[in-house]
Structure 1
Amino acid sequence: MNDALRNLIDMIEAAHNERMIKSALKSFANTYGFERFAYLQTEGAEVRAFNSYPEEWQDIYLGNQYSRIDPVVTEAKRRMEMFSWTANDWPARGTSELRRFRDQAIEHGIRSGLTIPVEGSFGSTMMLTFASSRQTADGSKLRDAQKAIQAVLAIHYRLKIIAATTIVAPKRLLSPREAMCLMWAARGKSAPETAMLTGINPRTVQHYLDKAREKLEAATVPQLVAIAKDHGLV
């Protein structure tokens, strides 16, 4: 099993695009009796997903913001260690949102699985799930916790590297001063602090940050920094 996880990590780190990462994860999942995989990163209310689930289920999941109530996500954040799960343990009675989630998950072939959660930076959580349509999934072969965590981290950083090489649309290109102010914001500096460091008027610094937010379609400076990091701009 160590060799299988090691090979998965190697394939992920050698991937040039998301398709190659998805192919490696699909192959690994199928080899060990799972039909689907899902990589999920949560940071506050923000959710980023990379998976092989049916598109219809992805739309339902994201559209209903099911990460708020998903028992797997909740358990992953609570335990922060690898665990197996089954939809049989989720509420099956009543008319609650959780009941609806359970029914829809089963309908789309997600009934059991194994999840590997990893704590990320700034309060984020990353988790890799292998899912099956069977009532219970055998995760006994996936019990090398250290290698499993390495696989999650490899996916996380490889996706960031691939995103950083993605061409940014011309309208999103920042001016040199916008980029400079953004760099200081990414280092935790406020507009007045950036003004002192650069010699620019504080109101002008704020103007540059506002223009950068507009270009990258960010509502706040923290979101601006996050988007910029995803695109390799900082």
Structure 2
Amino acid sequence: MNVAIAHIRERYHFAHLVFLVVRPPNRAHAYPFYCTTYPEEWTTLYLRKNYFEIDPVMELSRTGFLPVDWSSLDRRSPGTRDFFKEAASFDIGRHGLTVPIRGPSGERSLFSVTSNLPTPEWRKLGVSSRYDLQILSHCLHEKVLSVSGLRQSGGYRKLSRREQECLQLLASGVNSKRIAARLQISENAVRLYLKLAKRKLNATTTYQAIARASFLEIIQT
């Protein structure tokens, strides 16, 4: 996993990445697995001081599915301001973006990237990489839960040819309208095939379905 996140960091020129399983499936205890490119000194300090309790990024695991830029986080409390000042002293990155991931068995993870780019360039990078990061976050989620033993893989129903085709095209960045034209079917049919694919893969979101299908080598990403 550390090799994978290091490769992602280099590919997109991020400062740092971190992946954290906030809650594993069907288990009550938290934070069983994480991997990061942060300096070891900062990670050790974060764990020792239990900054999980004050880090506003942690709240994102309970609020939705979409990526959140750290500029929108609430930093008004003195504790939060001090936390970010301390993080800055370890050069973790001036900017950040976090993708929350929720699984069908209640599992939750967070995938965060940081950058030291000037604000205008960071905004461009965030826009250009957001779709990729949503897919990558779910791929990492699937891989981590499988190799760590936190969830057993398998048991998914086989996708039909149309379901697989629609999911493959969507993973390639083709929207529903263009998928319909390419496959010569209606947009409603495309939406139905994608809905069935999600159900068969036991996925909560389309991004999760793409990641799971990729992990199972049903589609290519």
Q: Residue 41 of structure 1 corresponds to which residue in structure 2? A: 21
Matched residue type, 2:102: E
- Correspondence for 2:97: 114
Aligned counterparts, 1:12-27, within 5 A: 18-27=1-10
Equivalent residue for 2:49, pick from 56, 64, 67 = 64
Partner residue, 1:191: none
**1:130 matched to 2:130:** no
User: What whole-Å deviation, never above 9, does each CA across 1:29-56 have from its counterpart, x for those lacking one?
Assistant: 41xxx21111111125511221100101
Contact 1:36 1:52 survives alignment (8 Å): yes
Q: Which amino acid aligns with 2:82?
A: R
| Matched residue count | 140
What is aligned with 1:142? 129
Q: CA deviation at 1:64?
A: 1.6
Indicate the SS of the match to 1:79: coil
Say which SS state the counterpart of residue 143 (structure 1) adopts. helix
Shift of 1:19: 4.0
Pick from 79, 86, 96: which aligns with 2:64?
A: 79
Distance 1:156 1:35 in 2: 21
Alpha-carbon distance change, 70 to 119 in structure 1, aligned in 2, over 3 angstroms:
same
User: Partner residue of 1:99?
Assistant: 81
Shift of 1:83: 1.8
Which of these two proteins has the greater Rg computed from alpha carbons?
Answer: 1
Deviations 1:83-104 (A, max 9, x none): 211388523x74x3x2331211
Give the corresponding residue for 1:230. Answer: none
- For 1:154, the equivalent position in structure 2 comes to 139
| Paired amino acid for 2:42 | W
Instruction: Work out the CA distance in 2 between the residues paired with 1:88 and 1:51.
Output: 21
* Residues 84 and 114, structure 1, Cα contact 8 Å, conserved in 2: yes
Q: Given that residues 38 and 49 in structure 1 are in contact (C-alpha distance below 8 angstroms), is that contact kept between their aligned partners in structure 2?
A: yes
Partners of 1:161 and 1:80 in 2: CA distance: 21
Q: Which amino acid aligns with 1:141?
A: S
- TM-score, with length taken from structure 1: 0.51
Is the 1:86–1:135 contact (alpha carbons within 8 Å) kept by the matching residues of 2?
no
Q: CA RMSD in A?
A: 2.8
Letter in 2 for 1:151: L
- 2: CA distance, partners of 1:160 / 1:143: 23
Pairs within 5 Å for 1:168-187: none
Long gaps (5+) in structure 2: 150-221
Q: For residue 74 of structure 1, report the CA deviation from its aligned partner.
A: 1.2
Normalised TM-score (structure 2): 0.54
Measured at CA, do residues 113 and 19 of structure 1 come closer, stay the same or move farther in structure 2, by a change above 3 Å?
closer
Q: Distance in 1 between matches of 2:135 and 2:130?
A: 13
Closer, same or farther in 2 for the Cα pair 1:65/1:122, shift >3 Å? Answer: farther
The C-alpha deviation readout for 1:87-137, integer Å capped at 9, x for no partner, is: 88523x74x3x2331211111223321111111254331121111235743
| Equivalent in the alignment of 1:209 | none
Structure 1 residue runs of 5 or longer lacking an equivalent are 1-17, 165-234
